[in-house]
Amino acid sequence: MGSNSTGASAPLNPTVEILLRFVNEDLLAGSQEKVAPDTALFDEGRIDSLKILRLIAFLEVRSGKKIPDELIVMDRFRTIETIAKNFPDR
């Protein structure tokens, strides 16, 4: 289970914050479980084959660039923090 991000902490990077909201309120809507910026997204079947497509589409709209399939690897998608670092907003 992912850790909860509601505790007191330093302000989040705006891209991390936007991604966190998208994942928790859209992709995982209806799920009891919520993720934190450092939660391993692909453990425990949180992200399925439809959710990954929605996440990629969201990132493509935010960055204004198509993401080539060969860049869709664990090193770039492990956590929300990793994604924000590798796919910054335009």
Partner 1 sequence: MSILNSRASNLPHHDFPISDDGLLFPGTAESRLIHALHSRFGEMALAAGAEELQFPTVIAEEILDRSEYFRSFPHYASAVNSPNKTGRYFLSPAVCYHCYQLLMNSVLAGDTVLTCQGRCFRAESANDSHLWEFTMREIVFFGGDSFVRAQCDAWKQKIVGWAAQLGLTVNLAPATDPFFAGEIRGKKLLQQIKGLKYELTAPGLSGTDVPVASFNLHERFFTSRFEVTLTGGEPAHSGCVAFGIERWCMALLAQHGVNQALRRVEESDDLR
Cα–Cα distance, 15 to 34 (Å, whole number): 17
Tokens of 53: 């497509």
Is there binding between residue 86 and partner 1 (CB under 8 A)?
A: no
Q: Find the radius of gyration of the CA atoms of the chain.
A: 12
Among 12, 42, 62, 82, binds partner 1 (CB under 8 A): 42
Cβ proximity to partner 1, 4 vs 53, nearer residue: 53
Rounded to the nearest whole angstrom, what is the least distance from the CB of residue 89 to partner 1 in the complex? 21
Among 18, 56, 82, 86, binds partner 1 (CB under 8 A): 56
Is there binding between residue 73 and partner 1 (CB under 8 A)?
A: yes
Residue 80 near residue 28, CB atoms below 8 Å: no
